Chain A
Amino acid sequence: MKKSYISYILLIFVMVFTSACSSSTSSQESEKKKSVKLLFSFASKTLDPHQDWMGVRAGIAETLVKIDENLEIQPWLADSWEQLDSTTWKFHIREGVTFHDGSTLDAEAVKRSFERLIEVNEAMNTNLKIATITANGQDITFQTTEEYPAFLSELIHTNASVIKVDTDKISEKPIGTGPFQVQSFTPESEINLVSYEQYWDGKAKVDEAKVTFNSDGNVRALALQSGEADIVYHLPPETLKPIEESKNLHVESIMSLRAHFLVYNSTNPQLQEENVRKALDLLLDRTTIVNEIMNGHATEATGPFNPMFAFSSDTEVVKSNPLKAEELLKEAGYVKNASGTLEKNGKPLEISVATYQGRPELPLIAQYLQAEAANVGIKINIVTVENIDTFLWEKQEDWDIATYSNLTAPRGDGGFFLNSAYVPDGSLNPGQINVPELTDTILQLNTTSNLEQRVDLEKEAVQLIQEHILHSFVVHPHIIVGVSNRVKNWAPGSEEYYILTNQLEVE
């Protein structure tokens, strides 16, 4: 009896160790090849580049144009282009590019890829506004349904990448033109990639790459320290200490194209008063928020856009000034009542701030604002909701301010955010902002192709937004990436599109 138990336990141990050993032997074999392991936060359900961002991020597929480290548009699969008239764009497809199956990339292949994209991706269909596509040799011509100067920058979208469409395994093994080709894919778990020998821009400097996913920040940090990953995205600031102290690892912290901001509900009469919004804006000490809430991994915002963009705001960071805030409120007719709360015509200045846990720093910003506002006599009630978008749109009478976060110029142009957040029927405008002067500027931007004129118009819009405090932009959070020192010739970009490149090297 006893014996059989012991042999049973021994058997389990043998099984565990043989399997553990077998995995280490295989990893020893793969060490001969140069390989890199990327750990990302948002898991891919599918590898279809027309549906998921990982196609471009993992170097499998490429787009016609790309955005460089200075956030400017550069040629990629298209080496030149011209706008023939207000709705027609002609691109020349780079010669000598081949798909991973060896077939040549020509305009016809690009056309078929775009036809599939607008068929399977409703959002991109809406976004690209393509009416017709004509292919001729290496030239491809797009006609848009309306005048659409932002068309070029929208082609940067990773979903607009070019893939071979006549294959039935697009979601598991897409055939692209990038430096890496897919060997295997397990949804939401891992992608195994090998370098593509005939890559048009020179074979990748690593032989193989592995992409894994984990949505838990603590696990990602542990994986970097244990050597299970060489590049780890989106590390929580509280996990950085052991990484920064390690001799073999380092942290990259780069300003993102995202902004954390306050949305004002303009249907609330109190918030319709500009002085009230300005006073609330003056209560935010952005430097304190950067240091205390963001642990230094953010940059104070001066407007909606990353300061690297030509169209971003030129102004200085607004310094917190509670005294001036009090003055503005007094000017607007607010006086303190017996309980110390500001009121006007018998109505106290009591504000409901909606926030959500999806980005843990946002509830902290709401709490910070609550404390600062209490000092000047504004009462803030915080409401934490699960689905912020649904709440803001469907319960518009239940909130006055919301903490929010969004990419503001994901493809190097401000058009997307300005149209979505400030035009009355924009899908990111739950606060019902309707400033005719600003709407006119944005509508003018929508029909302006000249790049310099676009920058001027975007700047004009930003100035109006900042002048009237239509939103209070707080910080641009940083992208925090943990990197092993064996990774060379690599740095994360603000755009987070081009992660595995042919230039990346490992020791």
Chain B
Amino acid sequence: MKTVGKMIGSRLSQLFIMIFVLSFFTFLLMKITPGDPIRSILKVDDVSVTTKKEEQLKKEYGFDEPILKQYGDWIINVAQFDLGESLISKKPVSELILERLPATLALAIGGLTVLFLISIPLGVISSLYENRWPDYISRWIALVGASIPSFWLGLLLMYFFSLKLQWLPMMGRGTFAHFILPSFTLGMAMAPMYISLLRERLITILQSPYIEAAKARGISKRRIVFFHALRGSLIPLVTMFGLSLGSLLGGLSVIEILFSWPGMGELIVQAVTQRDYPLIQGFIIVIGFLIVLTNLLVDLLYMVINPQIQQGKEARV
């Protein structure tokens, strides 16, 4: 228990360092990339503006000041829990992110549930029937899944389930039915990698001596797979999940935009295009925080899946 407390403490201190480094480099990258939000603020494609006015506004917003000073001003505000306001919509960044975060998290959970429902059965079947037809089918599903871009998969699902069969709504949010197609698209887009990984891991584990010993004791194959092998093979999956959180968020944005899901996808894509600095920075902080937090949960999960990890640490302490 002591170890757990220590780990949480060290992770939280790492979190602050990581967010500081992450936000600094994002800030630096944004500033050295050409372009600024002035043209978007002044809506130059819509109303008559002179370049002099653009320069004047640049000064007003302090975009001509040294990068370190701009970053310093921003981080001081962040330390006071003020993420600033969007340069384009003038709304507080925290409000813009928080009102969309629940929808994004809900879709992430939906996608992960589908991922779990698809990849575990297929991975298990594949390993149990290695190089036989159920394995081929499962590998074929994984291959097709990996080859289809998620936006296209989404369009196909919409075409069949919304347009042809009229079973499910195509887009938006409201009922549980609205939740199904985007969750499926997300889960199916992520599943192939997990199916393959689980299959490989299970095949290796099923050949290991302790499984052989279990078989020798007369324990049924199903029991061996579900109670012994599966537990051990979950660790690399959990690790991969922790590592692929960033790409999960990227995939979420695409799916949210496709299904008009009111999460953070559209907001952040527009913020990047319009160079809405405070909003991009705020997003980075929130996401960084979520990723560190999830990785912490992943580490705690390791201990649940395999208590030896915790014992091993204690032994070393």
Contacts and interface: CB of A to CB of B under 8 A. Distances in A.
A498 B168 CA distance: 31
Interface stretch (A183-191, A316-324, A371-379, A462-470): A183-191
Interface in A157-192: 157, 171, 186-190
B228 to A, nearest CB: 16
A85 interface: no
Nearest to B117: A12
Contacts of B1: none
Contact of A222 (B41, B155, B167): B155
B3 interface: no
Contact of A428 (B44, B57, B166): B44
B52 A20 contact: no
B140 interface: no
Interface string A106-123: 000000000000001011
A45 B270 contact: yes
Contact of A212 (B48, B171, B180): B171
A22 B266 CA distance: 28
A219 B158 contact: yes
A189 B100 CA distance: 11
Contact of A215 (B41, B48, B174, B257): B257
A387 B34 contact: yes
A427 B177 contact: no
Interface in A181-229: 186-190, 212-216, 218-219, 222-223, 225-226, 228
Contacts of A123: 41-43, 46-47, 49
Contact of A389 (B39, B50, B89, B180): B39
Interface in A262-310: none
A390 B49 contact: no
Contacts of A218: 155
A127 B57 CA distance: 14
The interface size bin for chain B is 35 or more
Given A51-B89, A427-B51, A45 B267 contact: yes
Interface string B158-186: 11001100111111111111101000000
A46 B89 contact: yes
Interface in A14-65: 15-16, 19-20, 22-23, 43, 45-46, 51
Contacts of A312: none
Contact of B167 (A20, A389, A391): A20
A420 B52 contact: no
A126 B162 CA distance: 46
Nearest to A189: B262
B220 to A, nearest CB: 11
Nearest to A19: B176
A394 B46 CA distance: 21
Nearest to B86: A45
Interface in A321-346: none
B163 A222 contact: yes
Contacts of A428: 44-45
Contacts of A43: 260, 266
Nearest to A389: B39
A99 to B, nearest CB: 23
Among B44, B49, B175, the most chain A Cβ lie within 10 Å of the Cβ of: B49
A434 interface: no
A122 B47 contact: no
A429 to B, nearest CB: 8
A427 B39 contact: yes
Among B42, B158, B171, B259, the most chain A Cβ lie within 10 Å of the Cβ of: B171
Nearest to B90: A120
Contact of A425 (B50, B168, B170, B257): B50
Contacts of A228: 162, 169-171
B91 A219 contact: no
B54 interface: yes
B150 to A, nearest CB: 12
A406 interface: yes
B74 interface: no
Contacts of A212: 171-172, 260
Nearest to A5: B121
Contacts of A419: 48
A329 B8 CA distance: 74
Interface string B255-274: 00111111000110010010
22 contacts: A20-B175, A22-B175, A23-B178, A46-B89, A123-B47, A157-B47, A188-B100, A188-B260, A189-B260, A213-B260, A214-B171, A218-B155, A219-B158, A219-B171, A222-B158, A222-B170, A223-B170, A390-B34, A390-B35, A394-B35, A416-B46, A420-B49
Given A16-B177, A228-B171, A427-B50, 11 more contacts: A20-B175, A23-B169, A23-B177, A45-B89, A126-B47, A127-B49, A157-B46, A216-B151, A222-B155, A222-B158, A427-B39
